[in-house]
Amino acid sequence: MKRVVAPSGTRKITRRDSLKLAGAAAAGMPMAAIAQRASAQATADRPEGGAGDRRFPDGFYWGTATSAYQIEGAWNEDGKGASIWDTFAHTPGKIANGDTGDVANDHYHRYKEDVALMKDIGVKAYRFSISWPRIFPEGTGRPNEKGIDFYNRLVDELKSADIEPFATLYHWDLPQALQDKYGGWRSREIPEAFGDYAGYVAGKLSDRARHFFTINEFSSFVEMGYGGFQTNINGKIVSFEAAPGLHLERAEVNQIKHHTVIAHGLAVEAVRAMGKPGTKVGPAEVIQAAVPLIEAPRHIKAAEAATREANAAFLTVMLEGKYTDAYLAGLGADAPKFTEEELRIIASPVDFIGINVYKPARYVLATDEAPGWRVVPFARSHPKMFNRWLTLAPEVIYWAPKITQSLWGAKEIFITENGCASDDVITEDGMVYDTDRIMFLRAFLTQLQRATADGVPVRGYFQWSSMDNFEWIEGFGNRFGLIHVNFETQKRTPKASAHWFREAAMRNAVA
């Protein structure tokens, strides 16, 4: 690490300043305004480029992310069809507290306020998802004009706020009609329908939205929705379910994985065919990143090889055009059935690779025996965030893009999600002091900057999430937002982390 010398003219907030701020609080000034004033003051005091070599590249997209079902509400308005998440959340016992996304953040009606708030907190790019059943209530066939109109209005609002729109085409809300008719992703019909839908949306929005993500977290929705996913957290087996809540045999789950990557490839082709010239498209997968426990060349090589295998069903086949031998051999009779033509579609060239990065899939060390690495378990005392699954390991956001680059030579990389929930409370002064989230962001973004400084082409970062929202089976109990939402009144309150984000985005640097 290079030593960074504070440039002359940099002024810290002194004890006198903080006394002044405390005085303002005593004078009844709201804490949010005070924090804003302090941050504006600190920025004004700094010479340009004050962060020295801790800056991100020029034009770096400081973004936030959400998804349709988690924020929109309006679940049956303006001709929208039901999605598998509507059905799942309406099934008693599936979601904590019986919460549903029927209203969620009511973003469908409040999108203008939400865009204005994002602008206030320094957001330069926004990754949202499009609800497939809002556009095609039956999954295929006749589009619903009012559905696409909503996204037209949202994109216009973003453009006029100088926020770059990034649209995800599938964030888990399959039209229920396709589940009923074909059994959902079990069917080879779904990739075809998805391609048609993707082309239609690109044709409508790509005059203003220049970036499209095909599918969000392939592995998560397949394993949780169709595989009855279970994992060991601190010695306890915990189940994570998602819509449609099926528990199929492995062979069928593996075939579904194959269908999702075909869908991705068909969508890439459709966006290219129907989008305006220059429209960019790529996946948004939660990369299973192996992190070298020790930073020595042989362990780094081992981490690359382990990452390639761990992503065999998704990123590796999309970017290499074949399933690895080890993947197919390991599955044996449960391996997916596929054709050469399908592999060609799956590997349709992408413009960028989007990766969601929360935690390492594993730490590894090199070994002399095949396959050349071994997994090192997390220590029992390894720190975790509010969610017990979220092991704190900020270096993963350095290694994940770095390994993505060395394995697949990505032209551009986006961190499509990163973030944490915290046990937020509104204090008497009306603020949320989410110190753990700020610690998390600072640590992760410092590591991400390290990747960009190494020349890894990371073009943007999307913090999950702009605002608290419906966190799948956890309902509204897991707060991931930079902006706090009171789900009874729909009041939005930027948290301390939003002020932190704004400062970092404004300076294009972490510190």
- Please give the residue ranges that form the binding site for ligand FCB (CB under 6 A): 67, 70, 216-217, 220, 286, 356, 417, 464, 471-472, 480
Nearer Cβ to ligand FCB, position 192 or 474? 474
CB of 472 to ligand FCB, least distance (A): 6
Interhelix angle 145-160/107-120, rounded to 10 degrees, is 10
* CA gap 249, 321 in Å, rounded: 26
| Burial bucket for residue 355 (CB in 10 Å: 0-12, 13-18, 19+) | buried
Closest by Cα among 470, 435, 462 to 100: 470
Q: Say which of 72, 217, 395, 471 is annotated catalytic.
A: 217
CB of 142 to ligand FCB, least distance (A): 29
DSSP SS3 for 167:
strand
Q: Is 417 known to be catalytic?
A: yes
Structure-block tokens of residue 45: 């005091």
DSSP SS3 for 166:
strand
Q: Is 428 known to be catalytic?
A: no
Count the Cβ atoms, other than its own, within 10 Å of residue 86: 22
Nearer Cβ to ligand FCB, position 68 or 345? 68
* CA gap 158, 370 in Å, rounded: 51
Q: Please report where in the chains the tokens 């909503």 appear, as a residue.
A: 150
CB of 478 to ligand FCB, least distance (A): 7
Q: Say which of 72, 241, 285, 417 is annotated catalytic.
A: 417
Structure-block tokens of residue 131: 């609800």
CB of 394 to ligand FCB, least distance (A): 17
Nearer Cβ to ligand FCB, position 275 or 360? 360
Running DSSP on this structure, what letter comes out for residue 57? P
Nearer Cβ to ligand FCB, position 219 or 452? 219
CB of 52 to ligand FCB, least distance (A): 33
Count the Cβ atoms, other than its own, within 10 Å of residue 46: 16
* DSSP class per residue in 168-201: EEESS--BHHHHHHH-GGGSTHHHHHHHHHHHHH
Residue nearest to ligand FCB (CB): 217
CB of 180 to ligand FCB, least distance (A): 24
**Structural contact between residues 397 and 418, judged by C-beta atoms closer than 8 angstroms:** yes
Question: Max alpha carbon distance in the chain (Å)?
Answer: 72
Tell me which residues are annotated as active site.
217, 417
